[in-house]
């Protein structure tokens, strides 16, 4: 089991995403444990203020350090539990980070919001900072959903087919090959003959070639770090890739 503790100002945002599909089933099977913590409930003033104006002036509001600290302390994290601040300033999330984080039994996610968070949250509470891309969102709630979903797929028992995750795009730093299902022909659009042949070795070769072809066309930067074998290099050379 892996436990996710998510600190947020807007706990209701998680109701629908985590109450359907594979995430819901994994929670019901006790493979995942997702705990949503409302930061506002730890604010001590009568208005439950979790944000305030920035020192030095400027636009927007800044999340306060006190309620975030108290929320985190209520969880009694151990020294080894990653405390992840979701922020545009963090390292860019990818499949490798997802695999690394999936090895932990507990992850704590702090959802930033407004103009940002008090710097002391970053300095004294977070052990890691993660961004989901070079763009700005209204807060860290959607990034938290992305991270939970991505990591959950790597936990044994979450996916119906245990072989699904290793074949996903980015699992080998390559994009996934094209997929087809019934019918074999629709409006003149046909499935490649090799997939209907029943020759599993030829199918695997076709899929590998298509994966390399698609990666070369769409994300050639991935090929620089992909784990390529000699056969892959021959295929890429045929496709016009010059290392």
pLDDT along the chain (243 residues), means of 10: 97 95 95 98 92 92 97 96 96 96 98 92 97 95 98 93 60 89 96 97 96 96 93 95 80
The CA distance from 210 to 174, in Å, is: 10
Confidence at residue 164, expressed as pLDDT on a 0 to 100 scale: 60
Report whether the peptide linkage leading into residue 76 is cis, meaning its omega lies within 30 degrees of zero.
no
Residue 153 known to be catalytic: yes
Assigned domain for 161 exists: no
Helix ranges (DSSP H) in 79-229 = 95-101, 119-124, 141-152, 193-196, 200-218
> Any residues with CB less than 8 A from the CB of 209 and at least 6 apart, and which?
235
Active-site residue, selected from the candidate residues 88, 207, 208, 219: 88
Q: Do 184 and 80 sit in the same domain of this protein?
A: no
Domain range for 210? 169-238
Assess whether 46 and 130 both reside in one domain: yes
Residues 133, 173 within the same domain: no
Closest Cα to residue 119, out of 177, 68, 179? 68
The 10 Å Cβ neighbour count of residue 91 is 10
Q: Does 162 map to a domain?
A: no
- Active-site residue (options: 115, 129, 176, 210): 115
Number of domains in the chain: 2
What pLDDT, on a 0 to 100 scale, did the predictor assign at position 166? 59
Catalytic residue selected from 33, 38, 168, 210: 168
- Is 168 annotated as catalytic? yes
- Any domain includes 243: no
What would the two tokens of residue 241 be?
């890739």
Percent helix / strand / coil, the chain, rounded to 5: 40, 20, 40
Can you say how many angstroms the Cα of residue 38 is from the centroid of all Cα atoms in its chain? 22
Helices 141-152 and 21-28: crossing angle in degrees, nearest 10, is 70
The neighbour count for residue 177, using CB atoms within 10 Å, is 19
Separation CA 91–CA 121 (nearest Å): 17
> Is the same domain home to 122 and 173?
no
Out of 40, 99, 106, 153, the active site residue is 153
- Which residues, in sequence order, are bridge partners of residue 38? 8
Name the residue among 233, 17, 55 with its Cα closest to residue 141: 17
Together in a domain, 140 and 179: no
Give the Cα separation of 154 and 101 in Å (integer): 10
Residues 88 and 60 in one domain: yes
**Overall size of the chain counted in residues:** 243
CA dist., res. 39 & res. 66, Å (int): 10
Q: What pLDDT is stored for residue 115 in this prediction?
A: 84
């Amino acid at each position: 089991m892996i436990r996710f503790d998510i600190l947020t100002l807007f706990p209701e945002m998680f109701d629908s995403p985590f109450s359907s599909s594979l995430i819901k089933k994994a929670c019901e099977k006790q493979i995942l444990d997702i705990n949503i913590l409302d930061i506002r409930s730890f604010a001590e003033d009568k208005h439950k203020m979790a944000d305030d104006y920035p020192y030095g002036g400027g636009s927007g509001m800044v999340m306060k350090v006190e309620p975030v600290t108290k929320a985190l302390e209520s969880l009694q994290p151990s020294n080894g539990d990653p405390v992840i601040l979701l922020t545009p300033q963090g390292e860019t999330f990818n499949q490798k980070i997802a695999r690394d984080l999936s090895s932990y039994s507990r992850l704590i996610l702090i959802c930033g919001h407004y103009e940002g968070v008090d710097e002391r949250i970053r300095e004294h509470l977070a052990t890691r900072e993660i961004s989901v891309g070079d763009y700005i969102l209204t807060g860290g709630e959607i990034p938290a959903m992305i991270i939970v979903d991505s990591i959950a797929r790597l936990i044994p028992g979450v996916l119906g087919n245990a072989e699904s995750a290793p074949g996903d795009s980015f699992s080998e730093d390559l994009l996934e090959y094209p997929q087809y299902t019934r019918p074999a022909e629709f409006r003149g659009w046909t499935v490649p003959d090799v997939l209907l042949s029943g020759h599993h070795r030829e199918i695997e070769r076709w899929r590998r070639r298509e994966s390399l072809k698609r990666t070369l066309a769409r994300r050639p930067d991935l090929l620089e770090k992909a784990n390529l074998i000699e056969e892959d290099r021959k295929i890429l050379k045929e496709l016009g890739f010059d290392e």
